[in-house]
């Protein structure tokens, strides 16, 4: 039976932490965030309903959007986002090192799974090798 590769867990990337460090240094952004958090439109200084349409739209400025790879092949991706204030309690160096070790561990496990699937595919192909039959039928000109 074929085995499936293990997905990477959702982890923050170096890009996320670089963006976070930029946002923390931006004084205007910090002031806008404090107003937004209290339900005040930072553009007009008018009160907004927290969780309302305008509040939510204005809040997008405070999210860090990034792409998360699900597998090592880089083909399967997922869009993610995180509020920049949620990253304040994370030790960036330890977190990125942990991410690297987790991904390396998963890569090793996926390599074993790929080798297993490759052996399984070859075994099935040799056990059920009817390729001569299909080649003869294709020469005859079957249309299906």
Residue 121: what are its φ and ψ, rounded to 5°? -65, -45
**What is the rounded CA–CA span in Å between residue 107 and residue 102?**
9
Identify the band that residue 3 occupies on the pLDDT scale cut at 50, 70 and 90: confident
pTM: 0.73
**Which residues does 118 contact at the CB level (< 8 Å), separation at least 6?**
none
Give the count of beta carbons closer than 10 Å to the beta carbon of residue 58: 19
Average pLDDT over every residue of 38-54: 94
Mean pLDDT of 117-144: 59
Q: Which residues of 27-39 are buried (b: 16+ CB within 10 A; e: fewer)?
A: eebeebbebbeee
CA angle 39–67–86, rounded 5-degree value: 35
């Amino acid at each position: 039976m074929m085995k499936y590769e293990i997905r990477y867990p959702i982890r923050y990337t170096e890009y996320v932490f670089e963006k976070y460090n930029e946002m923390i240094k931006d004084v205007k952004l910090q002031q806008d965030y404090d107003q937004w958090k209290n339900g005040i439109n930072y553009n007009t200084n008018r009160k907004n309903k927290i969780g309302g349409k305008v509040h939510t739209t204005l809040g997008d400025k405070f999210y860090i959007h990034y792409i998360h790879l699900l597998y090592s092949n880089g083909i399967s991706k997922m869009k993610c986002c995180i509020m920049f204030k949620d990253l304040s309690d994370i030790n960036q160096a330890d977190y990125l090192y942990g991410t690297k070790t987790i991904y390396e561990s998963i890569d090793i496990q996926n390599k074993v799974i790929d080798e297993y699937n490759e052996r399984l595919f070859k075994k099935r192909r040799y056990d059920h090798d009817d390729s001569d039959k299909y080649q003869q039928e294709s020469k005859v000109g079957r249309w299906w």
